Amino acid sequence: MSDRDVILGRVRRALADVTPDGTPYEAALPRDYLREHGERSLARTVELLAENLADYRALVHRCAGVPELSALIAGLLAGRGARSVLVPPGLDGAWLADTGAEVTRVADEAASTAAELDRVDSVVTGCAVAVAETGTLVLDGSPDQGRRRITLIPDHHICVVRVPEQVVGSVPQAVARLDPRRPLTWISGPSATSDIELNRVEGVHGPRTLEVVLLGDA
Amino acid sequence: MSGTSGGTYLGMPAFPEAAHDAVRDTTLRGNLRHATHTIRAKRAHAVAEVSDWAELREAGKRIKDHTLRHLDRYLVQVEETVTAAGGTVHWAADAEEANRIVAGLVRETGESEVVKVKSMATQEIGLNEALEAEGIRAYETDLAELIVQLGKDRPSHILVPAIHRNRGEIREIFAREMSEWGRPAPEGLTDSPAELAEAARLHLREKFLRAKVGISGANFVVAETGTLVVVESEGNGRMCLTLPETLISVVGIEKIVPTWRDLEVFLQTLPRSSTAERMNPYTSMWTGTSDSDRADGPRTFHLVLLDNGRTDTLADEVGRQALRCIRCSACLNVCPVYERAGGHAYGSVYPGPIGAILSPQLRGTGSEIDASLPYASSLCGACYEVCPVAIDIPEVLVHLRERVAQGGTATREGAKVVLRPAKGHAAERAAMRAARWAFGRPGALRAGQRLASRTRRLHPRTLPGPGRAWSESRDLPPVPAEPFRDWWRRTNGGEDGAK
Ligand code: SF4
């Protein structure tokens, strides 16, 4: 007998006391928890996002439009002395318009090795959704975000969130917006650990500096 | 690491002996006390932030119960959805089979080293040792696991396996051992947590960049979509899940949730219960794989579904609730017995209250350590109160005590067996010593009050059911009149010397 048959047989015998029940799952499971914690205006939701991002040590910036964003990104890269920046295939070119030629644009080619990406200083991406109540950004691998490894290996990640349209209040609202077939990465602050005496320390393997730009006038 | 066999640490003394050693170790006690007390207050704060905690907890409980009651159906669904998404599903009835499958898959790649994300399931089956025997080196990449691996130590906490080490000890281990495994620790390393984290970053980076095979567990598997979820903090998980060409995930069959939407519950309750954060730094979710040129992450994905005693646990109508556990470790952090005994005393990768009900079910109560575990508790109920899936740990402890004391039927490897009462056996003596130990610690004892004042079904002067016959002739100290909650508040959670 295969291990599959063994396990399924054991499960069925183990559940011999359970009376079969045809109730559909969603009917059997009352979800009386909240969709969102409290009522907030859109502007307040964006503010809460900014607060919670900052609380977990992300650096938060705001700007109204793309011209301003382009100047901001150029400044952030220059401020770190970045000499190279990873660019996802679908990133709006205008975002990097003010970034000079001294900063090399690096594309994530199929042939690029992890070791090559490890030499790149920064990465700029968009995001799929941002969650205000938890201060979380979710990336789903869309063309303006690229493959998961590009937001992992460089030590500096600039993530642009379009507000208010990409912001939701709560985790349940985020789950409803996301497509599970895409590779998803939920990011809440820079890499951190609680492994030394159960205290949070920032900066282990992921980017140690996370900058979030809230783009839009909400 | 010391040897494991099906999750039992060889030569492990029964709970009370190991606990006595821990209590004599003042550094260990100090480290544990400091860490658990820090996290307790933070967890309470993180939980208080969400007004619907009770509803989320109830939903989590029901989702898991529903899944367990239809587990055969959901297992088959997982197989279908993961396979449809490009993954390969394997089934392992026990630890040996799981290790054999994983070693075989690694050998097929031609690689002789793998990077690992922290995973309870792979610790439980002793995967690292099994791979070592096949000439495959497994590198632990979680900071705490790295500390344990470099220190040739054993894990003592679910979430923070090196919780028994303070920063000074970690510095020592890094300075001494890192060069044996790869890049040495930086010159002049101090014990500042930031420097220690930096040392781990440098040491592990070269391993991530060249790794061809990653091994992980998973916090959740979504049956409806075939999605796996790994919740972590450091980014080592992301490294292991995205950079290698081959990914092998070993997952206990109880990790399934039916629908994508179910994650909205656990993504709220797990981070707040474990690290006391609104959200942990990184959560990765992936559904199968793709072998296209633009594939994001591993081209090959294997899911190993692990039983190893879980179906035996499922067969027990009272004990099966232990399978709801999402391994948050909140119950460890509030447990007065864990705090004094330390994680190693529990003799398995699952320490603390959850270990006391899980190990004797996964492994049976045949050994002295497993027979004594249900007694390693004062039944104070703090574990139940914090558990985000409402596992009534005291209820299961009492049930297992009855089984040890009275004997009765149980399921082992799928077959019904009749256990003899422990009376007169070494197991009985171990159990009694554990009980006396737990009741005899002043702090642990006083915390046992929930029992008497909140009228659980047994009186603390006697052990439950047939245990009664034993305990009447044996001296268990009387329980004070003060209710547990009052004691807890008055002594600042035992902080003030448990008076
Ligand atoms: S038993 Fe409950 S509190 Fe303990 S680790 Fe499991 S889920 Fe967390």
Query: Which residues in B lie closer than 8 A to residue A30 (C-beta atoms)?
Result: 59, 62
Task: Confirm if B173 and B181 have CB atoms less than 8 A apart.
Answer: no
pLDDT at B318: 96
At B404, list the tokens. 């040890």
Q: Is B396 in the pocket of ligand 1 (CB under 6 A)?
A: no
Mutate: best of A150, A188, A204, partner B, most B CBs <10 A = A204
Inter-axis angle of helices B26-48 and B263-274, nearest 10: 140
Q: Is B230 in the pocket of ligand 1 (CB under 6 A)?
A: no
Is pLDDT above 50 for A134?
Answer: yes
Closest Cα to residue B84, out of B296, B251, B248, B288?
Answer: B288
Tens of pLDDT, residues A149-206: 999 999 999 999 999 999 999 999 999 999 999 999 999 988 888 778 777 788 789 8
Angle at the Cα of A106 from the Cα atoms of A104 and A108, rounded to 5 degrees = 175
Q: Report how far residue B56's alpha carbon sits from residue A101's, in angstroms, rounded to the nearest whole number.
A: 52
Distance from CA of A44 to the nearest CA of B (A): 17
Query: Which residues in A lie closer than 8 A to residue B143 (C-beta atoms)?
Result: 193, 195-196, 204
Indicate the residue type of B120: M
What is the per-residue DSSP string for A103-160? SEEEE--TT--HHHHTT--EEEE--SEEETTTTEEEE---TTT--GGGGTSSSEEEEE
Q: Which atom of ligand 1 is nearest to the CA of B328?
A: 8
Q: Which of A21, A172, A182 sits opposite B264 (nearest CB)?
A: A172
Q: Whose CA is nearest to atom 7 of ligand 1?
A: B325
CA B355 / ligand 1 centre spacing (Å): 10
Q: Report how far residue B398's alpha carbon sits from residue B375's, in angstroms, rounded to the nearest whole number.
A: 8
| Length of chain B counted residue by residue | 499
Closest Cα to residue B222, out of B258, B247, B189?
Answer: B258
Closest Cα to residue B476, out of B379, B392, B383, B407?
Answer: B379
Contact B143 A118 (CB under 8 A): no
pLDDT at B399: 94
pLDDT at B475: 34
User: CB of B202 within 8 Å of any CB in chain A?
Assistant: no
Q: Which of A176, A185, A193 sits opposite B238 (nearest CB)?
A: A185
Contact A15 B72 (CB under 8 A): yes
Asked if this assembly's ipTM is beyond 0.85, the reply is yes
Tens of pLDDT, residues A78-95: 999 999 999 999 999 999
Distance from CA of A91 to the nearest CA of B (A): 16
Closest Cα to residue A190, out of B157, B297, B218, B197?
Answer: B197
Q: Report how far residue B139's alpha carbon sits from residue B485's, in angstroms, rounded to the nearest whole number.
A: 43
Contact A17 B317 (CB under 8 A): yes
Task: Confirm if B28 and B342 have CB atoms less than 8 A apart.
Answer: yes
Across-strand partners of A131?
A: A136, A168
Mean pLDDT taken over chain A: 94
CA B327 / ligand 1 centre spacing (Å): 5
pLDDT at B425: 65
Q: pLDDT tens track of chain B, all 499 residues?
A: 333 334 445 455 677 777 766 666 777 788 788 888 888 999 999 999 999 999 999 999 999 999 999 999 999 999 999 999 999 999 999 999 999 999 999 999 999 999 999 899 999 999 999 999 999 999 999 998 899 999 988 888 888 888 888 899 999 999 999 999 999 999 999 999 889 999 999 999 999 999 999 999 999 999 999 999 999 999 999 999 999 999 999 999 999 999 999 999 999 999 999 999 999 999 999 998 876 667 889 999 999 999 999 999 999 999 999 999 999 999 999 999 998 888 888 988 899 999 999 999 999 888 888 888 998 888 899 999 999 999 999 999 999 998 888 888 899 999 999 988 876 666 677 777 777 766 665 444 444 444 433 333 333 333 443 333 333 333 333 333 343 334 334 444 444 433 3
Task: Confirm if B161 and A198 have CB atoms less than 8 A apart.
Answer: no
Please identify, in words, the CATH class of the domain defined by A41-215: alpha beta
DSSP B297: S
pLDDT at B1: 34
Distance from CA of B365 to the nearest CA of A (A): 18
Q: Report how far residue B327's alpha carbon sits from residue B8's, in angstroms, rounded to the nearest whole number.
A: 19
Indicate the residue type of A201: V
Task: Work out the burial of residue A138: count CB atoms within 10 Å of its CB; fewer than 13 is exposed, 13-18 middle, 19 or more buried.
Answer: buried
- Give the strand pairing for A84-87 and A129-131: unpaired
Q: Which atom of ligand 1 is nearest to the CA of B322?
A: 1
The residue with greater pLDDT, A207 or B7, is: A207
pLDDT at B406: 85
Positive or negative CA dihedral for A118, A124, A127, A133? positive
Q: Report how far residue B297's alpha carbon sits from residue B294's, in angstroms, rounded to the nearest whole number.
A: 9
User: CB of A176 within 8 Å of any CB in chain B?
Assistant: yes
User: CB of B282 within 8 Å of any CB in chain A?
Assistant: yes
pLDDT at B293: 66
- Give the strand pairing for A84-87 and A136-139: unpaired
Q: Is B61 in the pocket of ligand 1 (CB under 6 A)?
A: no
Query: Which residues in A lie closer than 8 A to residue B59 (C-beta atoms)?
Result: 29-33
Q: How confident is the model at residue A28 (pLDDT cuts 50, 70, 90)?
A: confident
pLDDT at B439: 60
Domains along chain B with CATH numbers: 1-423 (3.40.50.10420), 426-492 (no CATH)
Domain segments of chain A as ranges: 41-215
DSSP B109: H
